[in-house]
C-alpha cells in the first residue's frame, strides 16, 4: 500500500502483471493485491484489457 501511495504522489501508476499460474493457490492474496493495486493483470487480461485501459487513462488525463 505504501509503495502505491508514494508512486501516486509523484504521478506514477503501478501496473502489476502476474503469470496467473498460481491463481488457485493464491486466490486470496491476489484478491487482496487487486484491492490495493487495481492495475493488477494476468497474461490473459493483458492481452484483452491493458491496451484499452492505457488508452482510456491517457484520454481521461487529457480532459483534466
- pLDDT for 14-50, tens place per residue? 888 888 777 677 778 777 877 878 888 888 899 999 9
Q: Predicted confidence band at 1 (pLDDT cuts at 50, 70, 90)?
A: low
Instruction: Please state the length of the chain.
Output: 64
**Which residue in 37, 42, 8 sits closest to 23, CA to CA?**
42
State the pTM of this model.
0.69
Domain limits, the chain: 2-63
Amino acid at each position: 500500500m505504501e509503495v502505491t501511495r508514494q508512486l501516486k504522489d509523484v504521478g506514477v501508476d503501478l501496473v502489476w502483471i502476474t503469470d496467473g499460474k498460481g491463481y488457485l493457490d493464491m486466490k486470496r492474496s491476489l484478491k487482496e493485491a487487486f484491492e490495493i493495486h487495481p492495475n493488477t493483470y494476468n497474461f490473459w487480461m493483458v492481452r484483452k484489457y491493458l491496451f484499452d485501459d492505457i488508452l482510456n487513462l491517457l484520454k481521461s488525463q487529457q480532459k483534466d
